[in-house]
Structure formats: C-alpha cells, structure tokens
Amino acid sequence: MNIRVGIAGYGAGGAAFHGPVVRAVEGLDLVAVSTSNPDRAPPGTRRYEHAEALIADPEIDLVVVAAPHPAHFPLARAALEAGKHVVVDKPFTIRSEEAEALAALAGARGRLVVPFHNRRWDGDFITIRDLIESGELGEIMLYEAHWDRFRPDRRPGWRDLPGPGSGLIYDLGPHLIDQALVLFGPPDSVAADLEIQRAGMEINDYFELGLRYGRKRVVLACSTLLIEPRPRFSVHGTKGSFVKFGLDPQEAALKAGADPLEPGFGEEDPDWFGTLTRLDGTRARIATRPGRYADFYRAVADAIRTNGRAPVDPVDAAAGLRIIEAALAG
C-alpha cells in the first residue's frame, strides 16, 4: 500500500524541493498540500488553507513540514500527536531542546520524525565523503566548506526578516554543520563570527564557524556579498588536497522544473569537477558523483514500511542546533 504524503507549507521550498522528489519515489503518493495560493497546489492533490487541517486529514500517513522556521516544531509535534510520520525541513527546530522533544515524542508514538538534511545527498559531498573514507587524502588537517552568494538586497517574504530562527546561520548553517558532523562527529569546541554586513538588514548575513578536533580544523563559512565565490569545498590532508568549486546542480534543476527521474538528473557538468593534488605534485580531476535527493525519500519510505531507521536521526539535528546555539551565544 502506498504511503500517502501531505506537504504542510507549499511555498518555494515545498514546491521545488519536496513535491517533485516525493512524486519521483515509487510507493509515495502526494495527496495534499497546504497553501493559501489556490494556483500553487499540484493537479490531483487536495488543497488546505491551513497546515492544521492537512495534519488532521485521516488519509495522510506522512506529513512534510515545509512551513516557515518558527512553525517547524509546533507543526511536527501536532503531526506526531495525530499519529503521522513526519519529515521536517531545515532547520529541524529552532532550539535543540525542541529537537530532543520531537525525537522523544516520535519514539513514544512509534512514528518517524526525520530532519530533511538533504545535502547529505549532494553529489559533491558524496564525492568528498568517499575520498576521505578511502584514505587517499591521508589524515585530514583542514576541511573548509563555503556557501557564498552575491545578494546585496533584502529578499521579499519572511526569510530576511528578524524573528525566531532567522538569519543565515539558521538558513544555510544547518546544512554545512550537518555535513561536518557526518564526516567528523561532534567537535571539541566551537568558535564563531556572525555579522550583519548588508545595509538595512537586521539579521546575520555572514558567518564563519571554526570547529576544533584535536589538531584538525574545520571552517564553515557563508557570505551574501561575494561576487566571486570561494571554493565550495577545500579538503587538505597529509597525502593530498581536494578543491571543488560550484554548487550541486539538483537545486537549480528542481527550481527550473526538472523531473528527478529524467536521465542525467543530478549529474554535474565536468567543468565543475574538483581537483585532487597528491604529495608528488600530480593533479587529477575527480568526477563528481551524481547527486540523489530522491534517495532520502526512498529511505524514509523504506523505514516506514519496515519500522526501520530513519535516513537522518533527529539526534543529529539536535547536535547541529547546539552548535548554532553556541555560535549565537558568542
């Protein structure tokens, strides 16, 4: 029997990231969305004006929470209390205590609650994880991940307005932090630099996090005022270095209306392949593994059918949120 899915909050994120990927996964049926825009709901789905009505629908098995950040915790909690499985977009919650509460509630109700840390399925990250695990880079001494944009003006809508869970640290920080935790686990300590750089802004639009692991250093940084972006990833070890520019192509493809089932979806243009430099000075272009966001929802569906483990543990999201909290606390 197919798993019936409702997306609570069918704005840009729900329509671009969740809807197309859910529809691409065999065994998942997108049956309902909540949105105030009657023209946005996909054909063949029920439209609810409010997320609470969608959660109350007895025919929905899995609720995807893609509403603005402050709504993540209350909507996920309501969905779990209604007996639904839940996927929650990033940030999973605003406070780590909320993440832990959702994990406990899901366990008590026998349901899944899964952070949508889809960037684990970025092709460049998959490639770097494989390189590190292969030992080809040796012991990692410095890992840098940057996510830079040139966006000097305030965006329309809620994302650039002050409020709970606002700022670049909550927007892109969860992705970069989660990737670092997947690779290296929890750090020994955290140092942070957050700033408001754009005129007229009231929320942080620049951050740099320094995670310390013994003698290894991890630097995670985002800026909204870089015309020329820094490398997306730079990984330096005792046997070699790997440097990679460019963003995984899945986001742009989904926003352009691509079908995740199309041949070539998630494959990167070879011009963006990263470069491996070895001890002897030789260099090699390393083909980027195809990205595969659909694997996240396939794993969610499998876990629901088999009572198995979620593809992302809410405990991982809580660990990432504690790093954000430490950064904000100074």
Closest listed residue to residue 300, CA positions, set 114, 35, 149 = 114
The CATH superfamily holding the domain 3-117 is NAD(P)-binding Rossmann-like Domain (3.40.50.720)
**Other C-beta atoms lying within 10 Å of the C-beta of residue 238:** 10
pLDDT of residue 228: 96
Domain ranges of the chain: 3-117, 119-294+324-329
Q: In 39-168, at which residue ranges do the beta strands (DSSP E only) sit? A: 46-48, 62-65, 85-88, 113-115, 140-148
Cα–Cα dist 192/221, whole Å: 10
| Main-chain dihedrals φ then ψ at residue 217, nearest 5 degrees | -125, 140
List Cα–Cα distances, 73 to 49, 89, 97, 297, in angstroms. Answer: 19, 11, 10, 20
* pLDDT tens, position by position, 211-270: 999 999 999 999 999 999 999 999 999 999 999 999 999 999 999 999 999 999 999 999
Residue 282 CA, chain-centre distance (Å), reads 34
- Calpha distance 11→121 (Å, rounded): 22
Residues 6+ apart with CB under 8 A from 225: 150, 151, 152, 197, 198, 205, 206
Helix (H, G, I), strand (E, B) or coil at 83: coil
In this prediction, residue 315 carries a pLDDT of 97
Q: What is the pLDDT of residue 191?
A: 98
The strand pair at 46-48 and 28-34 is best described as parallel
What distance, in Å, lies between the first and last C-alpha atoms of the chain? 50
Max alpha carbon distance in the chain (Å)?
63
Which tokens go with 98? 């909320």
Intervals of the chain under pLDDT 50: none
What pLDDT is attached to residue 238? 98
Find out if CATH 3.30.360.10 is the number for domain 119-294+324-329: yes
